[in-house]
Amino acid sequence: MGNTIEVLWTGGWDSTFRVLYASLIEEKEVRPHYIADLARKSTLRELKAISDVRRELEKIDKNAAERIKELTITPITEIESFEDITQSYVRLKKQAHLGSQYDWLSRYARMKNIDCLELSVHVDDKAYYFLEGKVEQKDHGGWKLKSDVTGDTQIFSCFEFPLLQISKTEMRAKAKELGFIEALEKSWFCFNPVGNAPCGTCSPCIYAVEEGMGYRLTKSGILRYKTRYLRKAARLPVRVSRKVYSKLKS
Ligand SMILES: [Zn+2]
């Protein structure tokens, strides 16, 4: 692997922590990859976060900032299809919940000939169900699929998991201790921003609150988080009545 690492940088807390820690503390050269989902409202906001993090890191350590190479941006629709990977993903998904990103990320890694794409998966993430007992820790600290693992789980073999056992609040403490918290705070997590603020109701917002990071939401974001079930229920009859209305009209 040498001193260069390939990292999926989403602009989120975990992958930003990884990029900062690797460049600043481990003095590694970081090749960041970003997959653009153009259907998602947060795409531009995430790219802005990545840029903001870089600028903030330049203030902390110019050399570390230079170790982070140019961002490779690929639209999700440009990822090559590999039937064997997608078939494996579909079979795994039948066993337990598995996000579609593991299909396209695995295809992306193959398309780019990357055998070690770092993903910020955590033991609490749903994907860990498929990794438990099948990964081993490498000398440099990251976790990788054991070489004797066969079958569909192999779609994870092109990944490495450097943050498997560290929580968001532990990352925060570490970033404070090591002097890069200002840069880490420039990361972004909400899929569906309201104006410039996190929505409080999308999955990453909900996880942020549940994982002790609620301070990153604004007051109105927290209010939307607390009332999210009520709001969902309140919206439902409107949709139903619209449907009924259009039926009545036709
Ligand atoms: Zn949100």
Q: How much is the average pLDDT of 163-181?
A: 95
Q: How far is the CA of 36 from the centre of ligand 1 (A)?
A: 17
Per-residue pLDDT band for 211 (boundaries 50, 70, 90) equals: confident
DSSP string spanning 95-138? HS---THHHHHHHHHHHTT-S-EE----TTSTTHHHHTTTEEE-
- Residue in 83, 80, 89 with CA at minimum distance from that of residue 152: 89
Q: How far is the CA of 235 from the centre of ligand 1 (A)?
A: 18
pLDDT tens sequence across 101-149: 999 999 999 999 999 999 999 888 889 999 999 999 998 889 999 999 9
| CA 114 to ligand 1 center in whole angstroms | 31
Choose among 24, 20, 27, 25: nearest CA to 3.
Answer: 27
Query: Is the confidence at residue 71, as pLDDT, over 70?
Result: yes
Structural contact between residues 239 and 247, judged by C-beta atoms closer than 8 angstroms? no
Question: Is 96 within the bounds of a domain?
Answer: yes
The phi, psi pair for 187, rounded to 5°, reads: -70, 165
Expressed in angstroms and rounded, the spacing between residue 77 Cα and the centre of ligand 1 is: 23
What's residue 243's pLDDT?
Answer: 55
User: For the chain, what is the mean pLDDT?
Assistant: 92
Is the pLDDT assigned to residue 157 strictly greater than 70?
yes
pLDDT tens digits for range 213-229: 999 999 999 999 999 88
Question: What spacing in Å lies between the alpha carbon of 237 and ligand 1's midpoint?
Answer: 23
Cβ contact 149:157 at 8 Å = yes
Residue 58 shares a structural domain with residue 143 = yes
Is residue 107 domain-shared with residue 140, that is, in the same domain? yes
Q: What percent of the chain has pLDDT over 70?
A: 93
9 and 120, same domain (yes or no):
yes
**Residue 247 phi/psi, 5° resolution?**
-70, -40
**What is the spatial distance between Cα 188 and Cα 205, in angstroms, rounded to a whole number?**
10
The answer on pLDDT for 46 being more than 60 is yes
Predicted pLDDT at 18: 98
Domain assignment present for 99: yes
pLDDT of residue 249: 53
In angstroms, what is the span from residue 17 Cα to ligand 1's centroid?
19
In this structure, are 201 and 92 located in the same domain?
Answer: no
Q: Which H helix or E strand runs over 149?
A: none
Q: How many distinct structural domains can be found in the chain?
A: 2
Identify the domain containing residue 193 by its residue range.
Answer: 189-249
**In angstroms, what is the span from residue 68 Cα to ligand 1's centroid?**
27
CA of 81 to the centre of ligand 1 (A): 30
Q: With 0-12 CB in 10 A as exposed, 13-18 as middle and 19+ as buried, what is 228?
A: middle
Ion ligand 1: residues, Cβ under 5 Å: 190, 192, 198-199, 202, 205
CA dihedral 171, 177, 179, 185 (to 10 degrees): 30
| Nearest partner of 120 among 33, 247, 200, judged by Cα | 33
Is residue 221 one of the residues assigned to a domain? yes
